[in-house]
Amino acid sequence: MAAGLQTSIWNNNIRSVLLLMAYPLIIMGIVWAAAAAGTYAHLFGMGGYSPHTYQRGSGPDPGAAIAVANGLLAEFWPVILAVVGIWFVISYFWHSSMINALSHAQPVLRTQEPELYNLLENLCIAEGMTMPTLNIIETGARNAFASGIDDRSYAVTVTRGLIDSLSKDELEAVLAHELTHIINRDVRLLMVTVIFTGMVGFAAQLCWSSLRHGLRYRGGRNNRSGGGILIVIAVGIILYVGYIATLFMRFALSRRREFMADAGAVQMTKNPEGMMRALMKIAGLANIPNTPGDIDMMCIENAQPFLGLFATHPPIESRIRVISEMTNTPVPALPEMAKATLAPTVQRNNEEARKNRGQLRQSNPWLKRGRE
C-alpha cells in the first residue's frame, strides 16, 4: 500500500504542475473564443441582421472574427498571463482566509479542544509531518475537510457535530482521512482547480451582471445597442461554457481521492472498523448549512449532486464495502440506540439540505432573472 500511496503522491504532484501550466492556456483559449464570438456578434448587429431577416450564407464573414481574435490574443497574451499570475498569487496568500470565510470555520488551540488537538498532533508525529492548522465549524452537521497548498497553509477542519457524535477512535479515523489528503497532495491539486475555476466563474458573473443591466436599461435604442447586447451574450456563453469545463475538471478529481484517503486512514490508524463506523455515522448528516459547492467538494462526504446531476463522492456504502474487503474486516453494526438516534436526525438534515439548496439556487447569479 505504501508504494501505491507514493505513486499517488507523485501523480498528484505532476497533475498539479500540469494544471498550473494548462490553466493559462485554457484562459487564453476562452479569451480567444470570446473575442471571436463577440466580434461576430458585433458584425451581426452592425449589419442590421436579425433572427427574422438572417438567411443562411448572408451573415458576416467568420474569417473576419477569427482574424480579430488572433490579433487580440497576439497583442494581449502577456497581459492575460500577468492577470492569471496575479490571481494565483492573491489566492496563494489568502486562500485560507477565503475558505474559512466561506465555511464559517474558526481556528482552535490546544487549550480550547485538548482531546481533538492531541489526536491530530499524535497522528502527525507518527507520520513525521508538520501539524496543519486545526479549525472547527460550529454546526450540528457531521463533516470534515482538508485544505491548503503547502505546509504553511495546510488545515484540517471538522464540524462540532462530528466532534460531539463520534467516539475517539472514529474521530481519529476521520482526522487520519484528512491528513491522507494532505500527504497525497490531492488537496493541493483540488485547491489549484478551485482557484482557477473561481477566476473563470468571477468573469462569467461579471458578464452576466452586465447583460442583466444592459437588458434592463436598453430601452428603445437602435441596432448599435442591440449589437452590444449580442456581444455580451456571446461572450457570456463562452465564459459559461469555460466555467462548466473547469468545473468538470474539478469534479473528475474529487471522486477517486476519497477511496485513497480511506485507505490511507486505515493504514495510519490500523483501525478499519473505526473508519467504517465513522462513515456510517456521517452518512445522511454531512450537509453543512450555507456553504458553496467549492467547500462541499472538499468534504469527506457530500450528498449534493454536481450540477444537480452527478454525485461528487462515491456512495458511503461503496466506501465501507471497499474498506471491509481490503482489510478482511466485517462491516460493523451500529448499536440499536445509535440507529434510533440517527433516523430522525437524518430526516431533519435532509430537509435542511433541500432548503439550503433552494436558497443557494436563488442566490446563484446565473439563475436570477432580475435585480431585487
Cα–Cα distance for residue pair 337/82, rounded to 1 Å: 59
Q: What mean pLDDT comes out for the span 297-308?
A: 75
Does the active-site annotation cover 115?
Answer: no
Query: Which pLDDT score is estimated for 44?
Result: 65
269-287 pLDDT, tens digit each: 999 999 999 999 999 899 9
Residue 146 has pLDDT above 90, yes or no: yes
Q: What mean pLDDT comes out for the span 69-91?
A: 86
Query: Which pLDDT score is estimated for 130?
Result: 95
Residue with cell 438516534: 341
Residue with cell 462491516: 331
Q: What mean pLDDT comes out for the span 326-348?
A: 64
Positive or negative: CA dihedral 192, 198, 201, 207: negative
Q: What mean pLDDT comes out for the span 154-169?
A: 96
Burial bucket for residue 191 (CB in 10 Å: 0-12, 13-18, 19+): buried
13-71 pLDDT, tens digit each: 676 677 777 778 878 888 888 788 777 777 765 554 444 444 555 556 778 888 888 99
How far from each other are the two terminal CA atoms of the chain, in whole angstroms? 55
* 157, amino acid identity: T
Query: Which pLDDT score is estimated for 257?
Result: 81
171-197 pLDDT, tens digit each: 999 999 999 999 988 888 778 777 777
Query: Which pLDDT score is estimated for 214?
Result: 54
C-alpha cell at 146: 482538508
Angle between helical axes of 272-282 and 256-269 (0-180°, round to 10): 130
Half-sphere exposure of 38 (CA within 13 A, CB side): 18
In the chain, domain spans: 1-33+73-372
| Most distant pair of Cα atoms in the chain: their distance | 75
Of the listed 178, 258, 273, 301, which one is catalytic?
178
The length of the chain in residues reads: 372
Please tell me which residue, 350 or 283, carries the higher pLDDT value. 283
Query: Which pLDDT score is estimated for 87?
Result: 80
Half-sphere exposure of 271 (CA within 13 A, CB side): 16
Average pLDDT, the chain: 77
Please tell me which residue, 371 or 56, carries the higher pLDDT value. 56
Please tell me which residue, 265 or 360, carries the higher pLDDT value. 265
Query: Which pLDDT score is estimated for 295?
Result: 85
216-255 pLDDT, tens digit each: 544 444 444 445 566 666 666 776 676 676 666 666 665 6
Please tell me which residue, 91 or 137, carries the higher pLDDT value. 137
Residue 159 has pLDDT above 50, yes or no: yes
